[in-house]
Amino acid sequence: MTRSEFSHSGIYAAALTPLNADLSPDEDALVRHGRWLLDNGCDGLAVLGTTGEANSFSVSERMSMIEAMVEGGVPVSSLMPGTGCCSISDTVELTRHALGLGVTGALMLPPFYYKGVSDDGLFAAYAQVIDRIDDDRLRLYLYHFPQMSSVPLSYDLIARLIEAYPGIIAGMKDSSGEFTNMSGASERFPGFAVFSGSDEFLLDILNAGGAGCITAVSNIASSLATRVLRAWRDGEADNATDLQEKLTTVRETVCAYPLSAALKEIMARHSGDGEWRNIRPPLQALDDAGAADLLARLADTGFSLPALNGGVR
Amino acid sequence: MTRSEFSHSGIYAAALTPLNADLSPDEDALVRHGRWLLDNGCDGLAVLGTTGEANSFSVSERMSMIEAMVEGGVPVSSLMPGTGCCSISDTVELTRHALGLGVTGALMLPPFYYKGVSDDGLFAAYAQVIDRIDDDRLRLYLYHFPQMSSVPLSYDLIARLIEAYPGIIAGMKDSSGEFTNMSGASERFPGFAVFSGSDEFLLDILNAGGAGCITAVSNIASSLATRVLRAWRDGEADNATDLQEKLTTVRETVCAYPLSAALKEIMARHSGDGEWRNIRPPLQALDDAGAADLLARLADTGFSLPALNGGVR
């Protein structure tokens, strides 16, 4: 299988979730942010992932946000919402709801409360979810992020899932930061679309047969990531490497700060809309000194964000 | 303040959640199990905690179970449901719902998806929850279980919460297994009811001014734990020590296996009802060999469970 045959591929933003002052989701702002990202090179939107504070919202808040995006004209083919919860009941409800809207891609954390669980237990959890959903349209992307979930997904588990649910188990977002885990999965499982969760491995995972990247920094730098992808696709190896270096520099600058807060700060400055800083506890907005420091460092990289189309809010 | 002035104290079972074959909660069995525990010495029921697979259920499933217990005649004063979720929205909904039923005690995990969050962020999370609930009847017990939540609760955080919400911040369940953390909190925060999450520290935490224990093993051994408490209360130091040793032996035997599964296995054998083995993934029932091994070892301790009152199911 070639890259273009993956169900989903390219540059996906792990989209931020704009909030009102009372910390309720600002759905209009979310739709505008999503459209802006798609206008600036994103192939898709991994809404309600780690960066988008998914687990800080209730199931009904999450469903309402996906509905708002679809009703707001965001193409369903571009959406890959995070739907993996601690509870099978919640994961099934969220994923079924997305499918009901025509959204077939879902990025799915394993149940992440219990630690040290067996592969048998994780297989049973994913199997329960897939069996209960019972919809062949589903394209399930496993979400491997051991540093946050504390529940790693092994190759053995992936192999069992692919064997049991061919077609449905479509790929993985690997946020482990371990490139050998990403490239190994891409080599070992033909047709399994591996997305790097880290911008710095975009070019490397493309060269290793991967699908692309799903990253937080794509909230601000998708235009740069897209240029890496295009240069690689066009066989411009040196250009791709230069662009990747620029992207990596932006990533390293932003990732020196708490990530969702840093990106919301950057969007607040770029849009002039301070509401962008709203964030749900336990995450916290950057303090003034941190914000000034971040912005100064980002300016030093020479990177600038694309213009907003009519204002993000 | 003396121990008897705590809002909640004594022996609390971190109650198991019986399930039907389709993994839906068996509410009738839950009520019967709760009554049996109260009949056999439990002062209260910490339903829907880690042992009770709380995070494996949806918010609506959790609310329905609490309603069933109250409607089933379990005294509201004996209930201390787990209500802490990753999402403030969910935590508020669950806790408000319990208060609406007259259940004032709540055992509250911090939001546990994001790791490495600051005390400021955790304070803001608990503060948002308490402010939104806005009910002076609430008695909030912090749930410190770093091995499972990966989000420890520091003394500095506890001190800030007690200062901001006196009366409401009522105590802590400490499942860290570090006795100095429990005893230190009990000494440092007068009137703050510290429950050991581990049976082996019951006598020690009582001697250190703590409130008692909230444990998984109390699902089977509450009668023994109660005898430790009574002997301690009556000044029978040697007897209390002997009983504590027996309780510790039972605990060590059971805790050599995955805990919820082991306790469900024991209840299945005791009741003759194999449905007790049903458990939600990612947790898994013991295999036959493990089950036989556990039962043999438990028999070797000489421990036996109290008779069931009319059958647990």
Within an 8 Å CB–CB cutoff, is residue B289 touching chain A?
no
Q: How far apart are CA B241 and CA B245, in angstroms?
A: 6
Instruction: Specify the 3-state DSSP secondary structure of B254.
Output: helix
**Partner-chain residue, chosen from B56, B113, B284, that has the shortest CB–CB distance to A118:** B284
For residue B48, what pLDDT is reported?
Answer: 98
Strand partners, B108: B142
Other CB atoms within a 10 A radius of the CB of residue A260 amount to: 24
Residue B293 lies in a domain: no
Name every chain A residue with its beta carbon within 8 A of the beta carbon of B118: 282, 284
Within an 8 Å CB–CB cutoff, is residue B190 touching chain A?
no
Name every chain B residue with its beta carbon within 8 A of the beta carbon of A96: none
For residue A2, what pLDDT is reported?
Answer: 56
For residue A183, what pLDDT is reported?
Answer: 98
- Across the 313 residues of chain A, what is the mean pLDDT of every consecutive 10-residue run? 78 98 98 96 97 98 98 97 98 98 98 97 98 98 96 98 98 98 98 97 98 98 97 97 98 98 98 97 98 97 87 44
For residue B1, what pLDDT is reported?
Answer: 43
Within an 8 Å CB–CB cutoff, is residue A286 touching chain B?
no
Q: In what order do the strands lie in the sheet with A193-196?
A: A44-45, A10-13, A212-215, A193-196, A169-174, A139-144, A105-108
Q: Is the pTM of this model over 0.90?
A: yes
Residue A274 lies in a domain: no
**A139-144 vs A105-108, strand pairing mode:** parallel
Whose structure tokens read 């009847």? B137
Q: How far apart are CA B96 and CA B133, in angstroms?
A: 6
Residue A291, token pair as written in the block: 């914000």
Q: How far apart are CA B89 and CA A200, in angstroms?
A: 35
CATH number at residue B67: 3.20.20.70
Residue B266 lies in a domain: no
Report the residue of chain A nearest B115, measured CA to CA.
Answer: A148
Residue B63: enclosing H or E segment and its boundaries?
helix B59-71
Q: What is the DSSP letter of A4?
A: G
Amino acid at residue number B45: L
Closest CA to B118 of B81, B87, B145, B156: B156
Backbone angles phi, psi at A153, to 5 degrees: -110, 115
Shortest distance, CA B39 to any CA of chain A (angstroms): 30
Best of A22, A89, A175 to substitute, by most chain B Cβ atoms within 10 angstroms, is A89
Residue range(s) defining the domain that contains residue B14: 3-236
Q: What is the DSSP letter of A92?
A: H
Instruction: Work out whether the CA dihedral A190, A192, A195, A197 comes out positive or negative.
Output: negative
**C-alpha dist (Å) from residue A163 to A1, A184, B1, B189, B243:** 17, 18, 61, 55, 52
**A193-196 vs A169-174, strand pairing mode:** parallel
Q: How far apart are CA A151 and CA A171, in angstroms?
A: 17
Closest CA to B54 of B160, B180, B149: B149
Q: How far apart are CA B276 and CA A13, in angstroms?
A: 44
Q: How far apart are CA A104 and CA A264, in angstroms?
A: 28
Name every chain A residue with its beta carbon within 8 A of the beta carbon of B124: 281-282, 284
For residue B313, what pLDDT is reported?
Answer: 42
Q: How far apart are CA B156 and CA B160, in angstroms?
A: 6
Q: Which residues of B are catalytic?
A: 50, 113, 143, 173
CA B133 remoteness from chain centre: 22
**Partner-chain residue, chosen from B121, B150, B280, that has the shortest CB–CB distance to A150:** B150
Strand partners, A79: A45
Amino acid at residue number A63: M
Q: How far apart are CA B113 and CA B121, in angstroms?
A: 13
Each residue's pLDDT tens digit, B153-163: 999 999 999 99
3-state secondary structure A147-210: HHHCCCCCHHHHHHHHHHCCCCEEEEEECCCCHHHHHHHHHHCCCCEEEECCHHHHHHHHHCCC
Residue A71 lies in a domain: yes
Residue A261 lies in a domain: no
Report the residue of chain B nearest A22, measured CA to CA.
Answer: B128
End-to-end CA distance of chain A: 41
Which residues in chain B land under pLDDT 50? 1, 311-313
Burial of A222 per CB tally in 10 Å (0-12, 13-18, 19+): buried
Strand runs labelled E in B121-185: 139-144, 169-174
Backbone angles phi, psi at A256, to 5 degrees: -75, -5
User: How many separate domains does chain B show?
Assistant: 1
Contact pairs from chain A to chain B, CB under 8 Å: 119
Residue B261 lies in a domain: no
For residue A1, what pLDDT is reported?
Answer: 43
Other CB atoms within a 10 A radius of the CB of residue A131 amount to: 11
Shortest distance, CA A193 to any CA of chain B (angstroms): 25
Cα-only R_g, chain A: 18
Within an 8 Å CB–CB cutoff, is residue A154 touching chain B?
no
Residue A127 lies in a domain: yes
Residue B46 lies in a domain: yes
Closest CA to A142 of A103, A115, A116, A105: A105
